[in-house]
Amino acid sequence: MAERVSIGIRMHSGWGILVAIGEAAELLERRRVTIVDEDATGGKMPFHHAENMALASASKFLEGYTARCASMATAAVAQFIADLGAQKRKIAAAGIVLASGKALPALENILASHALIHTAEGELFRNCMRRACEVHGISVFGYPERDLFELATAGLGSGAVAQIANAGKKLGPPWTADHKNAALAASLALREVKRGAARATAG
């Protein structure tokens, strides 16, 4: 029987950190993934590229750009699934580290604001990874980064949080804040799945 694990995701502009966490808060895998072609039009900053376009042209460009990113994200998740499957492990959930979580306005308003352009780019890459997980049937949970430590301490306990913080010692570097936060999100997501299964059994 396959071991149930979860993955955590912390995205940046076109790339991100993926980790896999086991049921005992054990770090199993980690990797950096890229979901953009940096040499393609727009590079890692699609909304910056679209900033001075006519609205219809910007919308069309961003639609195509997002589709390409989504395809690369789906392939990256598929590879992670395959690699973990070869170890007799199955991904039960994914936790994504979020930004503020505020809803974005219409594209016209985004392109008129440099701050919103940055926010929209972050959302684009996170959403591509979210959809990639969902395509593969993985339940996805999001956790705002600013609340992550508090949520993890309340939900997992301080001992588990400390264990995750030190998990990189076993595998060695790199073990950055991105890795740690992705691991906390993964552990919280696995907890959600366990609680859901327990409620279903009780019902």
- Please give the structure tokens belonging to residue 74: 């789906």
Q: Residue 58 region, left (φ>0) first, then alpha (ψ -120 to 50), else beta? A: alpha
122-148 residue pLDDT tens: 999 999 999 999 999 999 999 999 999
142-161 residue pLDDT tens: 999 999 999 999 999 999 89
Looking at every residue in the chain, the average pLDDT score rounds to 92
- Please give the structure tokens belonging to residue 142: 């999001």
Average pLDDT of the segment spanning 98-104: 84
Q: How far apart are CA 191 and CA 177, in angstroms?
A: 21
Nearest to 33 by CA among 45, 49, 47, 19: 19
Give the right CATH number for 3-202 from 3.40.720.10, 3.40.30.10, 3.90.600.10, 3.30.420.40.
3.30.420.40
- Omega prior to 144 cis, within 30 of 0: no
Which residues lie below 8 Å from residue 29, measured CB to CB, with a gap of 6+?
Answer: 18, 19, 20, 80, 83, 84
- pLDDT the model gives residue 196: 67
Domain residue ranges of the chain, discontinuous segments joined by + = 3-202
- pLDDT the model gives residue 25: 82
